[in-house]
A and B are shown apart, each in its own frame.
Chain A
Amino acid sequence: MASLKRSFESDPFAQNISSKVYVRSTKSGKVQKIVREVYLRQDIPCSSKLCNACLKIAPRDAANRPIPFVLSEKPAGTSVFTQGHYIVPDTNAFLSAMDLFEQSSAFYDVIVLQVVLEEVRARSLPLYNRLVSLTKSEDKRFYVFFNEFRLETYVTREENESVNDRNDRAVRKAIKWYNEHLSKASKKAPAVVMLSNDRDNLRKAKEDGIPAYSLANYVSQLKDGEQLLDMIPELEERDALIEKKPGQFLYPEHYTLSKINTGVKNGLLHQGIFNVSPYNYLEGSIRVPAFPKALLILGRENINRAVDGDLVVVEVLPKDQWKQPSTQVIEEEAVTMNENPTEEGSDLISEKERKVLQEEAKRTLAKTTEGHALPTAKVVGVIKRNWRQYVGHIDQSSVSSSAAQGRKQDSVFVIPMDKKIPKIRLRTRQVAELLGKRILVTIDAWDRTSRHPTGHFVRSLGELETKAAETEALLLEYDVQYRPFPKTVLDCLPKEGHDWKVPTSMDDPGWRDRQDLRDLLICSIDPIGCQDIDDALHARALPNGNFEVGVHIADVSHFVKPNNAMDTEASIRGTTVYLVDKRIDMLPMLLGTDLCSLKPYVERYAFSVIWEMNSNADIVGSRFTKSVIKSREAFSYEQAQLRIDDASQQDELTNSIRTLLELSKKLKQKRLDAGALSLSSPEIKVHMESETSDPIDVKTKEHLPTMSLVEEFMLLANTSVAAKIYEAFPQTAILRRHAAPPKTNFDELANQLRVKKGLDLSVESSRALADSLDLCVDPKEPFFNTLIRIMATRCMMSAEYFCSGTQSYPEFRHYGLASEIYTHFTSPIRRYADLVAHRQLAAAIEYEAVHPAVRSRGRLEAVCKNINVRHRNAQLAGRASIAYYVGQALRGKATEEDGFVMKIFSNGFVVLVPKFGIESLIRLRDLAEPEPAATYDAETYTLTTTGSRELKVELFQKVRVKVTDQKDETTGKRGVKMELVSTY
Chain B
Amino acid sequence: MASSQHVLLSPAELAYLHASLSLTPPIRPDGRSPTQFRPLVAETGILPGTNGSARICFADGTEAIVGVKAEVERTRTRHDFPSLDESAEDDDDLDDNQNDVVKGDNDWVEMTVEIPGYRDDDAGTVFLSAMLSEALLADGEFTKRLWINQRFHWKLYLDILLISPPLSYPLPLLSLTTHLALLAARLPRLKSEGDEDPLFDDDWAAAPYLYPRPSEKGSKATAPAPAARPPVTLLVMAVGNNIIFDPSKEELAVADVALAVSVGESSSSTTTTTTSTTSSKPTAMDIDTEETKGHNLRLLSVRTIDPPSRLTPPGIPNASNSAYGANAGAKDTEKKKQQQEQARTAESEAVEGVWKAPRGGAKTLVMATMVQKVLEKGGVADEVLDALDGVDLN
Contact = CB atoms under 8 A, between A and B. Distances in A.
Partners in one complex: yes
Interface of A: 1, 3-5, 19, 21-25, 29-31, 33, 35, 157-163, 256-259, 261-262, 265
8 contacts: A23-B201, A23-B204, A33-B49, A160-B206, A163-B202, A256-B192, A258-B192, A261-B199
User: Chain A's interface: helix, strand, loop or mixed, by majority?
Assistant: mixed
B199 A35 contact: no
Return the 9 tightest CB-CB contacts between A and B, nearest first. A258-B192, A258-B199, A262-B197, A1-B41, A35-B48, A262-B196, A21-B204, A1-B57, A23-B188
Interface in B37-90: 41, 43, 45-46, 48-51, 55, 57, 63, 70-72
B196 A157 contact: no
Given A5-B46, A256-B192, A258-B197, A33 B51 contact: yes
A157 B201 CA distance: 14
A162 B189 CA distance: 13
A168 B226 CA distance: 35
Given A19-B48, A21-B48, A259-B192, A157 B43 contact: no
A5 B195 CA distance: 39
B305 interface: no
A5 B43 contact: yes
Contacts of A259: 192, 196
B106 to A, nearest CB: 22
Given A1-B41, A1-B57, A33-B188, A23 B48 contact: no
B191 interface: yes
Contact of B200 (A31, A35, A159): A31
Contacts of A158: 205
Nearest to A162: B203
Nearest to A29: B72
B43 A33 contact: no
A33 to B, nearest CB: 6
Nearest to B49: A35
Nearest to A166: B203
A265 B41 CA distance: 48
A119 B205 CA distance: 21
Most buried by B among A4, A21, A31, A257: A31
A460 to B, nearest CB: 42
Contact of A25 (B63, B193, B202): B202
Given A1-B57, A24-B202, A262-B195, 18 more contacts: A4-B43, A5-B45, A19-B48, A21-B48, A21-B204, A22-B203, A31-B70, A31-B200, A33-B49, A33-B51, A158-B205, A161-B205, A162-B203, A256-B196, A259-B196, A262-B192, A262-B197, A265-B197
Given A5-B43, A23-B201, A261-B199, A31 B71 contact: yes
Interface residues of B, number: 31
B206 to A, nearest CB: 6
B44 to A, nearest CB: 9
Interface of B: 41, 43, 45-46, 48-51, 55, 57, 63, 70-72, 188, 191-193, 195-207
Given A259-B196, A265-B197, A23 B203 contact: yes
- Residue of B45, B63, B188 with most chain A CB atoms under a 10 A cut-off: B188
A23 B207 contact: yes
Nearest to B191: A258
A162 B201 CA distance: 10
B199 A25 contact: yes
Contacts of B72: 29-31
Contacts of A24: 202
Nearest to B189: A23
Contacts of A265: 197
Nearest to B187: A31
A29 B154 CA distance: 12
Nearest to A37: B48
Nearest to A5: B46
Contacts of A19: 48
Which of A24, A29, A157 has the most chain B CB atoms closer than 10 A to its own CB?
A29
A607 B99 CA distance: 72
A30 B71 CA distance: 7
Contacts of A262: 192, 195-197
Give the interface centre of B46, B57, B199 by most chain A CB atoms within 10 Å: B199
A33 B71 CA distance: 10
Contacts of B193: 258
A29 B192 CA distance: 13
Contacts of B48: 19, 21, 35
A4 B55 contact: yes
Nearest to B197: A262
A23 B200 contact: yes
Nearest to B71: A30
Contacts of A25: 199-200, 202
B205 A160 contact: yes
B199 A159 contact: no
Nearest to A163: B202
A89 B391 CA distance: 46
Contacts of B192: 256, 258-259, 262
Nearest to B154: A31
Contacts of A23: 188, 200-204, 207
A35 B207 CA distance: 14
Contacts of A29: 72, 197-198
A256 B196 CA distance: 10
B205 to A, nearest CB: 5
A3 B55 CA distance: 9
A3 B43 CA distance: 7
A261 B201 CA distance: 16
B215 to A, nearest CB: 14
A5 B65 CA distance: 13
A261 B195 CA distance: 12
Nearest to B198: A258
A836 B257 CA distance: 79
Nearest to A261: B197
B194 to A, nearest CB: 9
Nearest to B46: A4
A257 B199 contact: yes
A162 to B, nearest CB: 7
A33 B50 CA distance: 7
Nearest to A20: B204
A29 B198 CA distance: 8
B204 A33 contact: yes
Contacts of B57: 1
Interface hub of B193, B200, B205 (most chain A Cβ within 10 A): B205
B153 to A, nearest CB: 12
Nearest to A26: B72
A157 B197 CA distance: 27
B366 to A, nearest CB: 35
Contacts of B188: 23, 31, 33
Nearest to B61: A1
Contacts of B200: 23, 25, 31
B188 to A, nearest CB: 4
Contacts of A258: 191-193, 196-199
A160 B189 CA distance: 12
Contacts of A162: 203
B204 A22 contact: yes
A220 to B, nearest CB: 38
A23 B189 CA distance: 9
Contacts of B199: 25, 256-258, 261
Contacts of A21: 48, 204-205
A161 B199 CA distance: 18
Contacts of B205: 21, 157-161
A19 B45 CA distance: 14
Contacts of B198: 29, 31, 258
Interface centre among B41, B193, B202 (most CB of A within 10 A): B202
B313 to A, nearest CB: 36
A1 B43 CA distance: 10
A267 to B, nearest CB: 13
A646 B196 CA distance: 78
A162 B207 CA distance: 13
A265 B152 CA distance: 14
